[in-house]
Amino acid sequence: QVQLVESGGGLVQAGGSLRLSCAASGSIYSINDMGWYHQAPGKQRELVATITSIGNTNYADSVKGRFTISRDNAKNTVYLQMNSLKPEDTAVYYCYVAVIPITSWWSRAAYDYWGQGTQVTVSS
């Protein structure tokens, strides 16, 4: 089994910053992609940013230049540094991790795991 624990959400004024963390633990052989999605009330879950195992990143247009995704492979942790926050960034943020479990080391089959979500609220 694999567990993800998110932290770092909260309430911040527009223009402020927050840093989200998501730590994976359990029966992990290795981790492929990691990333963050968000879901605002009444809307679908949307991609925010992703990072590959070798550090290639991808961002939604709405956060380019403001958010930075990074990872610490030794700690199985992905981060999202959010700067210049806007009220429209208000959402529940979910991390996801593509894990190759120890039981799949021979096939390299990866499975997606999701964090529990952390609320980010940006006031105007």
| Dihedral pair phi/psi, residue 102, rounded to 5° | -55, -35
Sequence-distant (6+) residues with CB within 8 A of 13 are: 122, 123
Q: How far are the Cα atoms of 1, 48, 121 from residue 58, in angstroms, in the given order?
A: 28, 8, 23
More confident call, 53 vs 105: 53
**Predicted pLDDT of residue 105:** 85
Q: 124: which 2 tokens?
A: 């105007």
Per residue in 30-56, pLDDT tens? 999 999 999 998 999 999 999 999 999
